[in-house]
Chains A and B, each alone.
Chain A
Amino acid sequence: MNKTINQKAWFFVVPVFVLVAFNAAIPLMTVVNYSFQETFGNNVFAWEGTRWFKQILLSERFHDALGRQIAFTFIILLIQIPLGIGIALTMPKKGWGVPVCLILMSMPLLIPWNVVGAMWNIFALPDIGFLGYSLNAIGFDFNFTQQPGDAWFTTILMDVWHWTSLVVLLSYAGLNSIQPAYYQAAEIDGASRWATFRYIELPKMKKVLTLAILLRFMDSFMIYTEPFVLTGGGPGNATAFLSIDLVKMALGQFDLGPAAAMSLIYFFIVLLVCWVFYSLMMKNEVKS
C-alpha cells in the first residue's frame, strides 16, 4: 500500500507511546541505574561503573544458566517447529473436524502458566501422576524431582504440550492461504508429496514460520512460571533457566546491582536475536 506522508499521524500514536514509555522506559532506567551502582538502602548509592557487568559476564553461574537456556530453547524449537508443521499438514481442511481441532488445540494456550506447571507436576508425579506412574510401571526409573535428566524430560514435554499448538495454528493459517490452483498444477506435473511440500507449501508458509520461530524463541527464552512451579529450578540447579536465576538473584538474595546488570545483558541477547529475525522478516515482506 502506498502510504501518505503525514506528520500529524504522530497524534494517533501518542496514547500508545505514553502508555508504553510509562511502562517500559521508567522501569528500564531504574534497572540501568542499579546496574552501575552499589546500594546501601535508604536511597544511598555509590557509583560502581562496569563492575557488575564484568562480575556477571565472568561468573560461572551466569554461564551455566545461559548454557541451560540456550540448550532448552534449541531443543524445544527443534521439536515444536517440525511437529507443528506435521500436524498442520494432516489437519482436516473442511467439515466438522476443523472447529473441533481448533478449539481443542487452542486449549493449552489459554491456561494460566502456573496452572500449566501445577498440572504437569500432578501429571508427572511418580506415585500418583498418570505419566510418572505409567513410566515407572513399564520399567523406567522415573522421578523428576530427584533426577536432573527426568526433570529436563518433563520440562521439555510440558513446553511441547503447551506451545506446539501455536506453531500448528500459524502453519495451518499459512497453508489455508494457498490457492487450490497450485495443488492442481502440482498434480498435473505429477509432483510427489515431498515435492509439493518442498516447492509449494513450505515457501508459502515461510512468513508465518519465521513468525512462529520468532515467537517461540522469545517466549521460551523468557520462560519462568512453568518450570518454576514444576521443578522450582531443581533438582539442584538443573532446570534453573535465565529468568529463574535472575528472579532468585533480584528478589531472593536482593543483589540488586548484579541482578540489574544481568537483566540488561539478558535483554540485550533477546533483542539482538529478535532484531536479526525482524530484519529478515521485513526483507521477505518487501520482496513479496
Chain B
Amino acid sequence: MKKYKWLVPTLYIIFLMLPIYWLINMSFKTTTEIINTYSLWPREFTTENYVKIFTDSTWYMGYVNSITYTVFNTLISVAAALPAAYAFSRYKFLGDKHLFFWLLTNRMAPPAVFALPFFQFYSSVNLFDTHIAVALSHCLFNIPLAVWILEGFMSAVPKELDETAYVDGYSFNRFFFKIFIPTIAAGIGITMFFCFMFSWVELLLAKTLTATAAKPIAATMTRTASTSGYELGLLAAAGSLTIIPGAIVIYFVRNYIAKGFAMGRV
C-alpha cells in the first residue's frame, strides 16, 4: 500500500489543474473555434485575446486597480495589526478577550450584509470609486485575520527577549523595530500573504464600492460576460492573467506556508 501512496496527491493535483488548464486552453482559441468545436487543445493557436487585454485600457487598468487597492490594504492591515498583536500577546488589559472575539466576529460577517451600508457610507464621505475606499473596506476582514496570525507568531517568541533588551537599555521603539520585527519577519511575511490573498480574491465589496476609476479586473470581467454577448476567449484570457499574481506570491512564501498555517493558527 505504501508503494502507491504518491497516487493520492498526484490525482488530487491533476483534479486541481484540469479546470485551470481548460481556462488557459480556451484563452488561446479563436471565438469561432470555441463556439463550433470541442477540442482538447487550440487548433488555431491565437494570442489575439491577450493582445486585446494589453492594448485596451479598460482591461489592463482593471489589473492596475486591483493590485493598487490590494497593496494598500495589505500595508494598512499589517501596520495597524502589528502593535495590536503585540499588545494581545504580551499584556493583559481591560476587555482584552472580548475585544479579540469582537475583532474575529468581523471576519465572520457575511460581506453581503455590509455591501449596501458600505455603499451609502463611502458615498456620503466622498470616497466612492477610490482605491482607498476598497482598501479600507477590506480591512473589515483582513485586520482581524492579521491580528490573529501575528498574535500567534508573537506568542511563540519568549518574553525573555523583550526583558533582556530592556535590561540592555533599549527603548521600546528601538527594541520593537530593531529586534522584535526582524525576529518575527517570517510571520509578517505570512500575514502579508494572507492579507494579499483575501483582498485579491474578494469581489462583492470591491465591485459595490467602485464605478469606473477604481474598478477591479474581476468586475470588468463580469461586465464583459453580461453585456457583449459571450466573448469566452477574452474572458478566459483575463481569468488566466488573474492567476499570475497569486502564483508569484505563493512562490515567494512556499517555505513558510505550512509553518505559518500551524504557528499562526490560520
Residues on A facing B (Cβ under 8 Å):
1-10, 12-13, 15-17, 19-20, 22-24, 26-28, 30-31, 86-87, 90-92, 97, 99, 101-115, 118-120, 122-123, 127-131, 133, 161, 164-165, 168-170, 172-174, 176-177, 207-208, 211, 215, 218, 221-222, 224-225, 229, 242-243, 246-247, 250-251, 256, 259, 263-264, 266-267, 270-271, 274-275, 278
Contact = CB atoms under 8 A, between A and B. Distances in A.
Contacts of B249: 110
A114 B243 contact: no
Given A129-B22, A225-B204, A122 B236 contact: yes
Given A16-B147, A23-B139, A173-B261, A105 B93 contact: no
In the A-B complex, list the 7 residue pairs whose CB atoms are closest, starting with the nearest.
Answer: A110-B246, A27-B117, A173-B262, A12-B87, A9-B91, A30-B117, A12-B83
B20 to A, nearest CB: 7
Contacts of A270: 108-110
A9 B23 contact: no
B16 A107 contact: yes
Determine the main DSSP class of A at the interface with B. Answer: helix
Interface of B: 5-9, 12-13, 15-20, 22-23, 26, 34-35, 38, 40, 76, 79-81, 83-84, 86-94, 96, 99, 101, 103-118, 120-121, 136-137, 139-140, 143-144, 147, 155, 158-159, 197, 200-204, 217-218, 221-222, 225, 232, 235-236, 239, 242-243, 245-247, 249-251, 254-255, 257-259, 261-262, 265-266
A48 B70 CA distance: 40
Contacts, number: 285
A19 to B, nearest CB: 5
A5 B94 CA distance: 9
A122 B231 CA distance: 11
Given A128-B34, A161-B15, A271-B105, A3 B261 contact: no
A5 B89 CA distance: 12
Given A4-B92, A7-B94, A20-B144, A120 B19 contact: yes
A270 to B, nearest CB: 5
A107 B235 CA distance: 19
